[in-house]
Structure 1
Amino acid sequence: MTSFSNTARTFLCCCLALSFLPVRAQDKRYTYEKGMMGSPFKLVLYAPNDSVAKVAADNAFKRVEQLNEIMSDYRDGSEINRLSATSGSGQWVKVSKDLFDILAVSQDISAKTGGVFDATLGPVVQMWRHATRKGIFPPEEEIRETLARTGYAKLKMNAKTQSILLTQKGMRLDIGGLGKGYAAEEAIKEVRKLGITSAMMDAGGKIVLTNPPPGTAGWNINVSNGSDSLKAMQLSNVSLATSGPTYRYMEHNGVRYSHIVDPKTGIGLLFHVRTTVISPDGTVADALATAFSVAGIEKSKKYLKSFKGSRVWLVEKQGDRVAEWNMLK
C-alpha cells in the first residue's frame, strides 16, 4: 500500500477543511427611499437577506430624522433654533455633539474660504426665501440691516465645554449648506454597524459611497454641467455633492437670481453656476459645493489647496460668457 507524501496529505486536509466552511450567498441589492429634510433620501445597499437590509434602512432613516430634529431651521423647537434664540444674550450654550461637530466643520470651512461659506447667514436666507416666495425683491435697507446680523466671527465655540456663544442679537444659524451631507455620512455609519460594506446614500444630490457593489469596479454616477455635458464615473469610498440654481431661482426685472446667496452682498448669485465636488467626506463635499459656487473659479482654485483629496467641476455662465474648471476629466 502506497503512503501519501506529506505534500499530498496536506493538500487533502486543506480540501476537506474548506468543504466544511460556511459559504455566504451573494449579497442582494436593496433600495429604500424616503422624503426627509425637504428632499428625497435614497439608500441603496447590498445585504445577505431582507431582515438585515430592513434593519439597516430603518436605522439609517431614524438617524437622519434625529439629525433633522437638531439641525432644521424650519422647526421652531429644533436645537439649532433654540440656540439662535439665545443670540446676543451673552450666554454660552452647551449643545449636542452633533450640533457642535457640524458647526465646527462649518467654521473651519468659513475660515479657509474667506467667509464665502457661513452658517450665520440665517437672517439673509430667511429674507431671500420670503423674497423668492413673494416675487418681491428686498429693499436695500433691509438687505443692509439683515447682513449686519451675520458673520461667522460672531459665532464662538468652546470645545472643552461643547458650548456655543452667538455674540450679536438677532443672529440665526442656517446649516442647510452642509446638513444633508452630514446626514448622509451619519446614515452610512448606521448601515456599516450591521456589517454592510457596500452602500450608497443619496440625500437630494449629496451622495456618500462605500465599497463598490459586488462584482463591479464602482458605483455608476452621472454628473451634469447643467446643460449639455454629462460625465459618467465609477466611484467608491468617496462623497459627492452638486449645487446649482437649475430649479430654484427668482427673476426680478428680467434678472435671474440664484437661491445660493452671496454672504458679502446678501442677494442671490447673479450668474448661473453649476458646481460638483468630490471629497473624502460628505459634509465637506456638501459645503464646498456651495462655497465654490459663491467664490467662482479663480478664488476656488486658491481655496481648494486647503482641502486635500477634493476635486471640482465648476461651470460659470454669465450672459454669453461660459467658463469651466473641470478636474473630473
Structure 2
Amino acid sequence: MAVKFSDNKYKWAIALALSTIASFCNAQESRYSFEKGMMGSPFKLVFYAKNDSIANVAAQAAFKRIEKLNELLSDYRDGSEINLLSAQSGSGKWVQVSDELFNILAISQDISQKTDGAFDATLGPVVQMWRHATRKGIFPADSAIRDAMSRTGYKKLKLDAKRKKVLLTQKGMRLDIGGLGKGFAAEEAVKVLRSFDIKSIMMDAGGKIVLTNPPPGTKGWNITISNGSDSLKTMPLSHVALATSGPTYRYMEYNGIRYSHIVDPKTGIGLLFHVRTTVISPDGTVADALATAFSVAGIEKSKQMITQFPESRVWLVEKQEEQVAEWNTLE
C-alpha cells in the first residue's frame, strides 16, 4: 500500500533531511590557524577545513602566493618588478607588467581619482626620504621635501588597460603600493584557499582583514575594533574586508612632535592629528587604501569622499584643537 505525505509533511521531511546533512557537513570541518611573518607584519590565517592534510596544503599554498606577490610588489627588494618599473621612469617607455602589478596599480589610480589624490602610489620618493630621516633621527630639510615631492603625483602614472602597460612620465619617480599591498595580498590568499573548497576564512594581513563565510553555526567572525584609546566595538562580520590604520606603532618623534608614518601627498609630511581609521568595505584592497585616504583627508573631507564608495563604512578619529573628534558610520 502506498503511503502519501501531505505537502506540508513532505516539505518538513526535506527540510529536516537538508538540516541533518548540513549539520553533518559542518561537523566534518575543524578550525585551523596558521601564522607567518610576511611583508614586515604577522599574517594570520584562520579557516575551517575537512582534515589536517587539506588545511596544511592550503595554508602553505596561500603563504606561497603572498611571498610571490611580495617578490613582485615590494619596494624594499631591489629586483622586484615594481622597482624595475620605477627605474624606467622618465624614459618615455611603456613597460609591460604582470597582471598582479597592473591590477593593483589600476585599483590605486581609481582610488586616487575618487579621493582627489589623498591616496597616491607615486609617493615613493617621499616615503624613502622619511625612512632615511627616521633611521637617522633627523627632520628632512625643506629642500629635500620639495625635491621628493616634485617627483610624485598620481597623474604622472599612466596605464594602458588593453596592453597591460605602464608609463611613468617623469624621471626619478618611485612607486610604493604599501598603502594597499597587504589588503591585496589578503584577497589573493583567500582566492587560493577557496580553490581548496574552503569556505569559512579569516585572513589577517597585519591588521588588513578579509572575511568570507561565518564559522559554522555562528552569525559571523567576532572582530573587535578600537578607536585608538578606550572605546572598543565587537562586531560579527562576514563577507567583508576591514582595514585599520593609525600611528600607534609606526611614527617619527622630533622635537616633541609625533609624525605619523602616513604621509600627506599634498605636503610630503607625516600626519599630525590622525588617531585611528577603520574602514569596512566589500574588498580588502579597497578597504586598505581607503583607510589611508580617509586618514589623510580627515573627517570633513572624508564625509564627501565616502559618497564615491557607497558600500564602505568608516570609523575615523582625529584630534581637532586638542579635542578628539570621531565620525562613525559602522553601525
Give me the whole-angstrom Cα distance separating, in 2, the residues matched to 1:328 and 1:108: 24
In the alignment, what sits opposite 1:53? 55
Secondary structure of the 1:207 match is strand
Cα deviation for residue 194 of structure 1 reads: 1.0
Q: Provide the secondary structure at the position in 1 that maps to 2:219.
A: coil
Q: 1:26 and 1:273 mapped to 2: Cα distance?
A: 44
Distance in 2, matches of 1:5 and 1:184, equals 54
| Superposed counterparts of 1:61-72, under 5 Å | 61-72=63-74
Question: Displacement, 1:118?
Answer: 0.3
Q: Cα deviation per residue 1:11-40 (whole Å; 9 max; x = unaligned)?
A: 8xx99xx7xx89534310000000000000
Query: Displacement of 1:270 after TM fit?
Result: 1.4
Pair 1:327-2:325 in alignment? no
Q: Structure 2 counterpart of 1:274, which letter?
A: R
How far does the alpha carbon of each residue in 1:199-219 deviate from its partner, in whole angstroms, 9 at most, with x for none?
A: 110000000000000010000
What are the Cα deviations for residues 211-259 of structure 1, in whole angstroms up to 9, with x where unaligned? 0000100001000011110011000000000000011111112211111
Work out whether 1:5 is the aligned partner of 2:7: no
Per-residue deviation, 1:4: 3.7
Q: Decide which of 230, 233, 236 is 2:232's aligned counterpart.
A: 230
How far did residue 133 of structure 1 move? 1.5
Corresponding position of 2:167: 165
Residue 319 of structure 1: how far off its partner (Å):
5.2
- 1:136 maps to a residue whose letter is I
Partner of 1:110: 112
Q: CA deviation at 1:6?
A: 4.2
Distance 1:320 1:119 in 2: 31
Q: Match for residue 43 of structure 2?
A: 41
Deviation at 1:109, TM superposition (A): 0.3
Q: Residues of 2 paired with 1:99 and 1:176: CA distance?
A: 13
Which amino acid in 2 is paired with 1:312? V
Letter in 1 for 2:107: V
Tell me, in whole angstroms, the C-alpha distance in 2 between the residues paired with 1:110 and 1:237: 25
Match of 1:99 in 2: 101
Q: Secondary structure at the match of 2:288?
A: helix
Partner of 2:310: 308
Q: Which residue of 2 aligns with 1:196?
A: 198
Distance 1:319 1:226 in 2: 18
Q: What does residue 216 of structure 2 align with?
A: 214
The answer (yes or no) to whether the contact 1:272–1:318 under 8 Å persists in 2 is no
Cα distance in 1, alignment partners of residues 182 and 256 from structure 2:
32
1:87 counterpart residue number: 89
CA RMSD of aligned residues (A): 1.8
2:237 maps to a residue whose letter is L
How big is the shift at 1:7?
Answer: 4.0
Question: In terms of mean alpha carbon deviation, does 267-276 or 239-248 score higher?
Answer: 267-276
Question: Which stretches in structure 2 are left out of the alignment for 5+ residues?
Answer: none
**Separation in 2, partners of 1:272, 1:91:** 39
- Secondary structure of 1:296's match? helix
TM-score (norm: length of structure 1): 0.94
Query: Which residue identity lines up with residue 251 of structure 1 in the other structure?
Result: E
Amino acid at match of 1:155: L
Q: Does 1:267 align with 2:265?
A: no
SS of structure 1 residue aligned to 2:91: coil
* Bigger Cα Rg: 1
Q: Distance in 2 between matches of 1:170 and 1:88?
A: 7
SS in structure 2 at match of 1:88: coil
TM-score between the two structures when normalised by the length of structure 2:
0.94
- Residues 251-310 of structure 1 deviation map (CA, whole Å, 9 limit, x = unaligned): 112211111100111010111320000000000000000000000001001110111210
Q: Distance in 1 between matches of 2:42 and 2:196?
A: 23
Describe the superposition over 1:49-80 as per-residue Cα deviations: whole angstroms up to 9, x where unpaired.
00111111011101101100110000000000
Choose which of 176, 179, 187 in structure 2 pairs with 1:177. Answer: 179
CA distance in 1, matches of 2:306, 2:3: 63
Residue segments in structure 1 that go unaligned for 5+ positions in a row: none
Query: Runs (4+) of structure 1 moved beyond 6 Å?
Result: none
Q: Secondary structure at the match of 1:35?
A: strand
Count of aligned residue pairs for this structure pair: 321
CA distance in 2, matches of 1:130, 1:288: 26
Equivalent residue letter for 2:3: S
Q: Which is worse superposed, 158-167 or 264-273?
A: 264-273
State how far apart, in whole Å, the 2-side matches of 1:320 and 1:79 are. 44
Match of 1:154 in 2: 156
Are the aligned partners of 1:279 and 1:309 in contact in 2 as well (CA < 8 Å)? yes
